[in-house]
Structure formats: C-alpha cells, structure tokens
Structure 1
Amino acid sequence: MSSPTVLRRRLGGELGKLRSSRDMSAKDVAAALGWSASKLSRIESGLVSLQERDAAKLLAHYGITSPEEVKQFLKLTRQSRQQGWWHAYGDALPDRFRAYVGFETDATKIVTFQCEAVPGLLQTEGYARHIIRAMTPTESTESVELKLALRMERQHILDRTSPPQIWAIIGEAAIRRPVGSELVMAEQLNHIATMAEERPNITVQVLPFSAGAHTSMGSSFSIFAFSDIPSSVVYCETISSKTYIEQQSEIARHEDVFHRLMASSAQPEKSISWLRQVAEEYGK
C-alpha cells in the first residue's frame, strides 16, 4: 500500500476533480462549507489529512450519493490518515518535511539537484552528522542523533527489491567544501562513487564550477515521480520555507532546468572518476 502522504494526494486529487467537474470554484466551495480557501487548497494538494466528516461534507456538496462511491471515498480517507513509519521520530521531523519523506518513500523516480551539499539519500553517517549539527547548532546531541537516525532510515528505500531510480546532480561546491574531517569527506565521496558504480538505479553527475552561470543558480530542488499517480511533485527548500509544487507548468519548468543542468554537468563516468580523485586528495 502507498504511504499516507501519497494516499492523501490521491484523495485530494480526486476531490479536486469532482469540484472541477461541477464547475465550482474552490473559494465558493470553501465558503459554502464554512472553511477557509486555504484549508480546501491544502486538502486538494494532499498536504493535510482529511477528517471523514469533512470528506462526507464535500461528497454531499458535490452530489455524490451512491453508497458504494461514498464508501470508497471514506475508505481512502481513513487509509490516508494512517501514520507513516516516520511518525516514530516525532519532533525530529518537522511537519512540512513529513510530506517530503512520504513522497520519497513512494516515489519510483527521484531527480535532485543539490548545489551545496550531498543529497540525503547518498550521505554517509559521518557526513550527515556534521551537516545536521551545522544546520541545527542549538539543538542537543540527543536531538541531532535522532535526526541522524531518521536520515539513515530514509536510505532503506535504496535496498528494496525494486528501489527508486535516482538521478542526482551535485554542485562542485558540495565536493570541495570540507564537512567534518578530511577522512569524513574521503569516505563520503568514495561512497557516492561506489553507489553510482554498483547500483544501476543510481546515476550521479557533478556540476563543475567551470560550467559558470547555470539555470538553477542558488536553488536546489527535487522532483518525485510515482507509478500510481500521473503527476509529479517538485520540492524546493530554503532556510525559512519548504515548498511543494504541483502546477504542471512549474513541474515542466523544473524538468527543463534539470535537463539543462545534466547537459552542463560532467558525464556519469567522468563524475565517478572525479569523485574518486577528490576523495584521494582528501585522503592524503
């Protein structure tokens, strides 16, 4: 079964289709039910869970009266409210990032551009610990270790019988900036190279400084694709915000940006050799 995050998105998409098929605006539906427009928007985008009573109100408003159809919608609503495996990590996982882990858990393909750091799915424990500590300097050692355990747990998706396809473009800054000791960096870069060499589902490219200005200056992002949901999701993150993008025009724009980054980056085989070379430099 899909994760609650993806089930919420599927449910929200179906409810959005019902509203559109009846030529109703989100603003009018929200007003009729005494909700804010933002509440309905978050429901349709799958960013919040939906109570069964609210699902029933929406179905009634859209004129859905078939007992079997109502039953199926309410069943999906209940399933979408179940807790994912990541719930056990509590406060180590901010609310807005729960959706990210859910998308990551169910994605069949993930493409990501990271200009400043190694992608989380490819981080070693030593590297990840230093990254987490640097980004949360005021948190306790216990909190840092819990966040680290969550990051390592997320990587288990790579060990599945049918793991997701991963295509990662990493900025040269991420392999040149020391994180932790030189030994930590050598281990990290060798780990990326080994993953790309030994796992056919993982492709890595390095975007060199020599590429100059590029199509995603100062911005990192990930795109998640799914087997059972036709639309992808784009995730963008800054220090103060985490944004999920589902508009088709914006998804297409990010896909175009990623393809341009691919063309500007070193080819996979050259990238692996480059990672090994820099790792050797750190190891001296």
Structure 2
Amino acid sequence: MSGRILALVGRQGEPPPATPKAAEKLIGALLQYLRQERGMVQSEVVRAVPEVGSGPTLSRYENAVVKLKAEHVFALLRFYRAPEDCVREAEMLLQWPHERTWWSSFEDVANSTLMSLYALESTSKVVQVYQENNVPGMLQTAGYARALMADFARAQYDPETRRKYLAAIERRLEMRLRRQHLLDQPNAPMFRAVIAESVLDKELGGVPVMREQLRHLFTIAENKPNVHLRILPGSAMRQGSPLHPAITLCKPHEGTAGRAVYLEDKNVGGQLLTDSSQIETFMASMDDWWRHALSKAETMDRLQYYIDRLTDDTPQ
C-alpha cells in the first residue's frame, strides 16, 4: 500500500502506516522529500503552487500537523512530477481519514504490527495464507476462535498472565470476527488459503465446536467465489514443509509495491516482512505448496470425510 513512498523517504523495511494520522505523516514526509530532492525552499514552492497558501502552511503539511487537503497534496505532487505509483499510493493513504479504520478501536488487544497487517489486508487485491497450526483467523467460527484463545490462556504458567489472557478473550474474539467482514465487501480481495490436513484432525473445543468449524470451511469453499481453499495432505509433507507454519502474504497491487509477508507466532503476535527479496522467497514457496495441495473437489471430499467422522451417530 505504501511501499514505494516508504522507500523514497528512507524508511524501506518499515511496516505500512496503520492509522490515519500515520498515513498523513507519511504523505508529509513524501512532500518534504520531493521538495528537497529538487533543491527548493518552501517559499519557492508556494510561488509556483499558490493554492497551498503560504510557507508556514506548506511546513505544516510536511510535518502533518494540520489536516491535509487532497487538492493541495495532488497539486504539489503534480508540480514535483512525482512518480505515478507514488501518486496512487498517496491517493489511497488520503482516503483513510474519510474511512473507518476499524482496527484502530482495538488498540487494547492489538499491537502496531497486527494493525499494520489489518491495514494491508484492507487494501489488498490478493491475500494468500498458509496454516499448519489452526484454521486461519479469517475463516474461524466464533466457537473455534474462543476455544483456541482459551486453550492458549490456560497454558500460561503465571497466574496473572493467565488471568489477563482469559479476561481479554471476548474482546479479542470481537476483533477477530470484525476482521472477517473484509471477505464480504463488494471490493473484497481474493483470499487463497492452504491448510495442512493435520489441522482438520484436531478436536479443538470438542466435537460440536470442531464439527461446526469444518462445516463452515465446507460452506465457504463451496459458496464464496472470492475464497479459494485447499487442503495440503499429510503425504505432501513427508519430504519437506513450508518455510513457516503460519504465513500471510498481502499483495495490494499488480506490481511489487506494497507487498508484505506476515509470519504469525502462535497466539503471541508476529513479524511483518517488507524486504523484497524475502517476500519473493515466501511467494515462491507458497506457490509451490499450492501446487502440492488437493484440488477444490478433492478438498471438499477431504473436508466431508472429517465432518463425517464427527457426526453425532459416530462413536467417539
């Protein structure tokens, strides 16, 4: 979403902005970079772009201490002859103050890296996921997600830490379910998920919870056109495994700008990668394992097999 601008202003490798204010600060840094790159002082720019108003106003824009007016930003970008991909990224960033960034209201349970991931997902054309720990968060039922969080909380040795995690379950669950709304939007990204077969063989939360989760996956795979779900059979992993047990790849554009990889550590946050060489490595690996996964028809059959194992009339 902002990879090109981050690179220009010397912040390559940083995660994209996760809040409207951070987005405005990045635009301000871009305006300052483009002016300095052309060896101009603020008064010279104001004479050439009079709609900005004054030198102090331009200074406030560059430091993002006032609300940015889109028409002024674009006038400056045209004057500086900013690269087209920068202009597109700036347009996306400017939309944030006018849209509800839902994740900003969950700062009590989400760190900045996680909010950056949600920001990336919200502007992505394609989101690819690999999971061998559990069902991807985007596809979890409420019962399954709650059981997953409770299982992690109860595993904490320290009583105070355990109490803290247990107390936050409903709030974290609210955030996780809100995140899933993205896949129902008119401009929803294409969501491609590869799930290791071992995930289906667990009974997390008990038989009813797991059966509901498997049926939910079956329904999504069958009926949601923008979601492409594949199961990676255990036999495919006998001679190797993906580079990480939980990977999310976001591709906001057709080109390379704004791509990122999120590596999830089980229930304890994760790491966001924006280095192009690392991203290419993970992309190649995920594409390779997609080819090892079952076809859609085979995936549906495999899901049905595990659902049948958990039917009420089957002895456990």
TM-score normalised by structure 2 residue count = 0.70
- Structural RMSD (CA): 3.0
Does the 8 A contact of 1:214 with 1:261 survive in 2? Answer: no
Which residue of structure 2 lines up, in the alignment, with residue 62 of structure 1?
37
Q: Structure 1 residue 178: deviation in Å?
A: 1.6
Equivalent runs, 1:1-284 vs 2, <5 Å: 6=1, 9=2, 13-14=4-5, 16-17=7-8, 26=10, 40-41=11-12, 45-47=15-17, 49=22, 50=25, 58-63=33-38, 65=40, 66-67=45-46, 68=49, 71-72=72-73, 76=90, 79=94, 82=97, 84-137=101-154, 138=162, 139=164, 141-211=166-236, 212-216=238-242, 218-227=244-253, 230-231=256-257, 232-239=259-266, 242-283=270-311, 284=314
2: CA distance between counterparts of 1:257 and 1:163? 24
Counterpart AA for 1:14: I
* Shift, 1:249, TM fit: 2.5
Paired residues of 2:214 and 2:307 also in contact (CA < 8 A): yes
Distance in 2 separating the partners of 1:218 and 1:234:
11
Q: What percentage of aligned pairs have identical amino acids?
A: 21
Query: 1:52, 1:205 → 2: CA distance?
Result: 39
Spell out, residue by residue over 1:18-66, the C-alpha distance to the aligned partner (whole angstroms, 9 max, x if none): x6xxxxxx5xxxxxxxxxxxxx4566x5357337876665455434644
Runs of 5+ in structure 2 lacking a partner? 53-57, 59-71, 78-89, 155-161
**Alpha-carbon deviation of 1:241?**
5.8
- The CA deviation at 1:115 is 0.8
Maintained 8 Å contact 2:146/2:173: yes
Distance 1:230 1:53 in 2: 23
The number of equivalent residue pairs is 254
SS at match of 1:270: helix
1:148 CA drift (Å): 0.3
Indicate the SS of the match to 1:194.
helix
Distance in 2 of aligned mates of 1:189 and 1:64: 61
> CA contact under 8 A between 1:115 and 1:174: conserved in structure 2?
yes
The 8 Å contact of residues 244 and 263 in structure 2, kept in 1 or not, is answered as: no
How far is the alpha carbon of 1:229 from its aligned partner?
Answer: 6.8
How far apart are the structure 1 equivalents of 2:147 and 2:182? Answer: 23
Does the aligned pair in 2 maintain the 1:205–1:266 contact within 8 Å?
yes
Over 3 Å counting, the alpha-carbon distance change for 1:206 and 1:81 in structure 2 is closer
TM superposition shift of 1:248: 2.6
CA distance in 2, matches of 1:52, 1:270: 47
State how far apart, in whole Å, the 1-side matches of 2:299 and 2:169 are. Answer: 31
Assess, with a 3 A threshold, how the Cα gap between structure 1 residues 16 and 179 changes in structure 2: closer, same or farther: same
Structure with higher Rg: it is 2
Residues of 1 paired with 2:194 and 2:148: CA distance? Answer: 18
Report the 3-state secondary structure (helix = DSSP H, G, I; strand = E; otherwise coil) of the residue aligned with 2:239: coil
Q: Distance in 1 between matches of 2:219 and 2:107?
A: 32
Q: TM-score, normalization: structure 1?
A: 0.77
Displacement after TM superposition at 1:251 (Å)? 2.0
The answer to whether the Cα contact below 8 Å between 1:165 and 1:201 also exists between their aligned partners in 2 is yes
Contact 1:215 1:260 in 2 (8 A): no
